[in-house]
């Protein structure tokens, strides 16, 4: 059962950066067409650097863990660095091997962040 | 107990597979695969065209398939149109009916998107009114709402829900719609694989089904339409085979059912579907439904108390179990079951209006068919326990 290893379960059960920002620079809501799940990402960007980020939404373990790990990773990174982050790099961070359907759950937060940054 | 697993090569090639996604599509018995192979290897050519021997053989096989389907539905062969699937059948009907702004379309919140969106679009295009029969708490059609059928001109509903397995009172609904003078369109994609269907007894005007959900190949579906309606209505797609005569000034249409079959059809698919129907008839629909209900009742009985099941008791539905494991997302349940070689569906099942009406975004769905057994239901429930243990916070 390689999808639900320690890392994924830890981030799913105790997600980082869950909540809302008071004055976000960018906010983006993204829906997963497969299940109708929705994630909202809020970013505080100063001088092209992500100072803070929060996410909200109900979802499966993969999308929550992905949002938790990804939001933690992008804090302090430049907008350019984040925009160049590939799908493969995110999957590698999660340390899982994921099929064509569930990959959409994993990538949903990244899609929201990239679309938020325009 | 029916034991048919040996008839399905997929289980020989995947001996650990527990396939419980039969409401999405079904596996194929050897007899269906053999029928298609025999056609391609021994009789293949186009239909209704060549005067040579091989083309006559292909035409005969194709038309025999139509006759088998007609007999299966108690229709006449000219009322059986081969399409790609139920979705195309319903879209065909929505495209040929003379609906205008004074009409009233009635649909239901139970309908699959394929029998929901075409009517929504038609209403937007024509400015015809559209109303929906709503659902009761047990996900059945709300009887109180049947009076919405008053003054309806088109009534499109589903014979059995793909999301919950609920069987609708089709005969009663059609009678009420007829009293209002409405044309009736019934989506039988989910019911035809499990229930005997008699279009004369139902007295519906149109009925749609998909071959792949009833042991047949993909890419073949059926539209039944009453002959006197199909004769009067305009064609849908135009092209080869549906033509009588073409001149620069005008074109006239072929006889039924060819008027609605433009282009070279899915010949092998039709032959395969007819063979699938024969397979089901050999088992018998009474036997089949009893087998599925037996499995569903067993599942209901042994499900842990942290599983919420949606829909009515097994006796009022097909062998479909729509549920959620409390505190676990449907996709995670399905992934954990997959790690045990158990295939179920998770998501909205192309029935978002239905799930919204029940206050849900997604559910897990296990659906049983002819090759499933109690041992598999037990493994399925064991895996649900694993998903609960792994993922509940």
Min Cα distance A35 → chain B (Å) is 4
Q: How far is B334 from chain A (nearest CA, A)?
A: 10
Q: Which residues contact B364 (CB under 8 A, 6 or more apart)?
A: B322, B323, B324, B325, B330, B333, B334, B344, B345, B346
Closest partner residue to B332 among A13, A34, A61, by Cβ? A61
Return d(Cα B389, Cα B393) in angstroms, integer. Answer: 9
Which helix (H) or strand (E) segment holds residue B373: the answer is none
The structural domains of chain A, with segments of one domain joined by +, span: 2-117
Closest Cβ opposite residue A105 in set B331, B348, B390: B331
- Within 8 A of B346 by CB-CB distance, chain A residues are 35
Q: How far is B153 from chain A (nearest CA, A)?
A: 33
| Cβ neighbours around B211 below 10 Å, total | 33
The pLDDT tens digits for A58-80 are 889 999 999 999 999 999 999 99
CB of A96 within 8 Å of any CB in chain B?
A: no
Partner-chain residue, chosen from A9, A12, A35, that has the shortest CB–CB distance to B330? A35
**A104 interface with B at CB cutoff 8 Å:** no
Per-residue pLDDT, B167 = 98
The tokens describing B95, both together, are: 């495209």
CATH class of the domain at B5-27+284-391: alpha beta
Question: Which residues of chain B have a CB within 8 Å of the CB of A7?
Answer: none
Crossing angle of the two packed helices B267-283 and B53-73, in degrees rounded to 10 = 40
Helix (H, G, I), strand (E, B) or coil at A92: helix
The whole-angstrom distance between B333's CA and the closest CA on chain A is 9
Which chain B residues have a beta carbon less than 8 Å from that of A3?
Answer: 335-336, 339
State whether A37 and B361 contact (CB < 8 Å). Answer: yes
B363: closest chain A residue by CA: A35
Pairing of strands B18-19, A49-56: unpaired
> Inter-axis angle of helices A6-13 and A61-74, to 10 degrees?
90
Q: Which fold has domain A2-117?
A: Sufe protein. Chain: A (3.90.1010)
DSSP B204-268: -SEEEEEGGGGTS-TT-EEEEE-HHHHHHSPPSS-STTSEEEE-SS-EEEPSTTGGG--SS--HH
Q: What contacts 24+ positions apart, CB below 8 Å, involve B325-328?
A: B325/B364, B325/B384, B325/B387, B325/B388, B326/B388, B326/B392, B327/B388, B327/B391, B327/B392, B327/B393, B328/B387, B328/B388, B328/B391, B328/B392
Q: What is the DSSP letter of B114?
A: G
Q: CA triplet B302, B303, B306: central angle to 5 degrees?
A: 145
> What are the residues whose beta carbons fall under 8 Å from the beta carbon of A47, sequence distance 6 or more?
none
Choice among B229, B350, B360, B386 that is catalytic: B350
Beta bridge partners of B141: B135
Query: What is the total residue count of chain B?
Result: 393
Q: What is the pLDDT of residues B214-229, one digit of tens each?
A: 999 999 999 999 999 9
Contact B242, B251 (CB under 8 A): no
User: Which pLDDT value is given to residue A100?
Assistant: 85
Q: Which of A3, A35, A39, A99 best probes binding to B when mutated, by most B CB atoms within 10 angstroms?
A: A35
Per-residue pLDDT of chain B (393 residues; tens, 9 = 90+): 678 999 999 999 999 999 999 999 999 999 999 999 999 999 999 998 788 999 999 999 999 999 999 999 999 999 999 999 999 999 999 999 999 999 999 999 999 999 999 999 999 999 999 999 999 999 999 999 999 999 999 999 999 999 999 999 999 999 999 999 999 999 999 999 999 999 999 999 999 999 999 999 999 999 999 999 999 999 999 998 898 999 999 999 999 999 999 999 999 999 999 999 999 999 999 999 999 999 999 999 999 999 999 999 999 999 999 999 999 999 999 999 999 999 999 988 999 999 999 999 899 999 999 999 999 999 999 999 999 999 997
CA distance A3 to chain B (A): 8
CATH code assigned to B31-281: 3.40.640.10
Nearest CB to B361 within list A1, A35, A62:
A35
> If you measure CA to CA, which chain A residue comes closest to B348?
A35
Tokens of B254: 């072929």
Among B21, B328, B332, B337, the strongest candidate for a mutation testing the A interface, having the largest count of A CBs within 10 A, is B332
Nearest to B357, CA basis, from B368, B346, B348, B345:
B348
Q: Hey, are the CB atoms on B390 and A3 less than 8 Å from each other?
A: no
- No. of helices (H) and no. of strands (E), chain A: 5, 3
- Least Cα separation, residue B330 to chain A (angstroms): 7
State the Rg of chain A over Cα: 13
Query: Using the beta-carbon criterion (under 8 Å), do A9 and B346 form an inter-chain contact?
Result: no
Nearest to B331 among A12, A13, A60 (CB): A60
Q: Tell me, what's the ipTM?
A: 0.86
For residue A62, what is the nearest residue in chain B, using CA coordinates?
B332
pLDDT in tens, B290-342: 999 999 999 999 999 999 999 999 999 999 999 999 999 999 999 999 999 99
- On whether any CB of chain B is under 8 Å from the CB of A61, the answer is yes
Q: Is B204 annotated as catalytic?
A: no
B332:A60 CB<8 A:
yes
Beta carbons of A102 and B335 less than 8 Å apart: yes
* Cβ separation A4–B390 shorter than 8 A: yes
Give me the residues of A, 14-43, that contact B with CB < 8 A.
34-37
Strands (E), chain B: 18-19, 80-83, 104-108, 129-133, 154-158, 183-187, 206-210, 221-225, 243-246, 251-253, 307-310, 320-325, 342-343, 345-347, 363-367
Angle in degrees, 0-180, between the axes of helices B374-391 and B330-338, rounded to the nearest 10: 120
**Sequence ranges of the domains in chain B:** 5-27+284-391, 31-281
pLDDT at B1: 66
Beta carbons of B329 and A59 less than 8 Å apart: yes
CA distance B377 to B383: 10
């Amino acid at each position: 059962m390689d999808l639900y290893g320690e890392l994924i379960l830890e981030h799913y059960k105790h997600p980082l950066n869950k909540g809302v920002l008071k004055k976000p620079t960018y906010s983006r809501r993204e829906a997963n067409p497969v299940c109708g799940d929705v994630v909202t990402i809020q970013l505080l960007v100063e001088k092209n650097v992500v100072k803070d980020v929060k996410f909200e939404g109900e979802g499966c373990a993969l999308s929550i863990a992905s949002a938790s790990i990804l939001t933690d990773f992008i804090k302090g990174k430049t907008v350019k660095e984040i925009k160049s982050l590939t799908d493969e790099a995110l999957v590698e961070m999660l340390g899982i091997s994921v099929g064509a359907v569930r990959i959409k759950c994993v990538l949903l937060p990244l899609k929201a962040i990239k679309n938020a940054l325009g | 107990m029916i034991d048919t697993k040996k008839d399905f090569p997929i289980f020989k090639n995947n001996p650990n597979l527990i396939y419980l996604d039969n409401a999405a599509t079904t596996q194929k018995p050897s007899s269906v695969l053999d029928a298609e192979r025999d056609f391609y290897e021994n009789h293949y050519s186009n239909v209704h065209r060549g005067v040579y021997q091989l083309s006559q053989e292909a035409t005969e096989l194709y038309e025999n398939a139509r006759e088998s389907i007609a007999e299966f539905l108690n229709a006449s062969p000219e009322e059986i149109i081969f399409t790609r699937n139920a979705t195309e059948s319903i879209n065909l009907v929505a495209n040929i009916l003379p609906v205008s702004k004074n009409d009233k379309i009635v649909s239901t919140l139970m309908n699959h998107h394929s029998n929901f969106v075409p009517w929504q679009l038609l209403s937007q295009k024509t400015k015809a009114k559209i109303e929906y029969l709503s659902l009761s708490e047990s996900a059945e059609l709300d009887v109180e709402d049947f009076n919405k059928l008053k003054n309806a001109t088109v009534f499109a509903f589903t014979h059995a829900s793909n999301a919950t397995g609920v069987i609708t009172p089709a005969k009663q609904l059609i009678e009420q719609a007829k009293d209002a003078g409405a044309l009736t369109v019934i989506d039988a994609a989910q019911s035809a694989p499990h229930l005997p269907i008699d279009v004369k007894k139902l007295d519906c005007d149109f009925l749609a089904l998909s071959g792949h959900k009833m042991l047949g190949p993909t890419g073949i579906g059926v539209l039944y339409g009453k002959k006197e309606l199909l004769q009067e209505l305009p064609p849908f797609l135009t092209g080869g085979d549906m033509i009588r005569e073409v001149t620069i000034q005008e074109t006239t249409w072929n006889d039924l059912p060819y008027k609605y079959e433009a282009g070279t059809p899915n010949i092998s698919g039709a032959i395969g579907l007819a063979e699938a129907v024969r397979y089901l008839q050999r088992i018998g629909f009474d036997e089949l439904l009893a087998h599925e209900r037996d499995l569903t009742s067993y599942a209901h009985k042994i499900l842990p108390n942290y599983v919420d099941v949606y829909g009515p008791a097994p006796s009022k539905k097909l062998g479909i179990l729509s549920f959620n494991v409390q505190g676990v997302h449907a996709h995670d349940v399905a992934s954990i079951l997959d790690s045990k070689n158990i295939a179920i569906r998770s998501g909205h099942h192309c029935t978002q209006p239905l799930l919204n009406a029940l206050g849900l975004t997604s559910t897990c769905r296990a659906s049983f068919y002819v090759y499933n057994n109690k041992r598999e239901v037990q493994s399925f429930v064991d895996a649900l326990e694993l998903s609960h243990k792994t993922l509940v916070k």
